[in-house]
Structure 1
Amino acid sequence: MALQRVAALAEVPEGGNKAFDACGKSVLLCRTAAGVFAVENMCSHALAHLEGGKVKGPHIFCPLHGVRFDMRTGEPNGTLTRKPITVFPVSVEGDDVLVELPDA
């Protein structure tokens, strides 16, 4: 895994999310009062993009069917899927959002 700069913190809306292309992956950055999180921009239930889904605390809700995922672990909550989403370690250094991504 390699640490990559994915975006400037100012590019990620407070209380929201935005997808960025990094190392050939669509990485969704989410910014909440609980922190900044990075997940693969793909719901494990219907293979829809998670971008635009509601974020609350450490959770994101799929905009298609409302499946809730814990962005700390990737674990789903509910009955639509038991398959977790991929989460990536993230850190903020100054105004840079750095994400640990698999080596290309």
Structure 2
Amino acid sequence: MDFVKVCPVTALPAEGAFKVRVEGRAVAVVRSRGQVYALDDRCSHAEVSLSEGEVYDGTIECWLHGSCFDLRNGEPTNPPATRPIDTYRVRVEDGDVYIAAGEAKP
């Protein structure tokens, strides 16, 4: 499995998201409760950037209509979204964040 270096951990807010591009895909790299996650940066309901939304309680909220997605598995936790978003395996090594680029998990 190929991991791609996407950003230093210091680029991430203490509790929030940072948008990166990985092999042509927009990915939200999120830090929450000391963990780092990676998800598609597109709400499955309105197709707007999730990295611009709020991160809280292990979720990321779409800023447009308020849908939230579980950071661990991309599942929507409230409407209007009903479809999950893809997630990616993450590795933090030597202060940098790496994402398994070719392995999205629906």
Return the TM-score normalized by structure 1. 0.91
> Which AA in structure 2 matches 1:101?
A
Q: Which residue does 2:16 correspond to in 1?
A: 16
Note the C-alpha offset of 1:91: 1.4
The CA distance in 2 between the partners of 1:87 and 1:33, in whole Å, is 18
Note the C-alpha offset of 1:82: 1.6
Q: Which residue does 1:30 correspond to in 2?
A: 30
> Which AA in structure 2 matches 1:41?
D
Equivalent residue pairs, number = 103
Note the C-alpha offset of 1:52: 1.7
Note the C-alpha offset of 1:8: 0.6
Question: Are 1:54 and 1:62, in contact at CA under 8 Å, matched by a contact in 2?
Answer: yes
| Identity across matched positions, percent | 33
Residue 69 of structure 2 is aligned to residue 98 of structure 1 = no
> Which AA in structure 1 matches 2:53?
G
The CA distance in 2 between the partners of 1:44 and 1:69, in whole Å, is 10
Q: Deviations over 1:30-84 (max 9, x none)?
A: 1111511101100000111101211114210111111010011110012312200
> Which AA in structure 2 matches 1:70?
D
> Which AA in structure 1 matches 2:74?
G
Question: Are 1:34 and 1:57, in contact at CA under 8 Å, matched by a contact in 2?
Answer: no
- Give the secondary structure class of the aligned counterpart of 1:51: helix
- Give the secondary structure class of the aligned counterpart of 2:44: coil
The CA distance in 2 between the partners of 1:89 and 1:57, in whole Å, is 20
- Give the secondary structure class of the aligned counterpart of 1:5: strand
Question: Are 1:34 and 1:58, in contact at CA under 8 Å, matched by a contact in 2?
Answer: no
Question: Are 1:89 and 1:99, in contact at CA under 8 Å, matched by a contact in 2?
Answer: yes
Return the TM-score normalized by structure 2. 0.90
Query: Runs in 1 of length 4+ with deviation above 2 angstroms?
Result: none
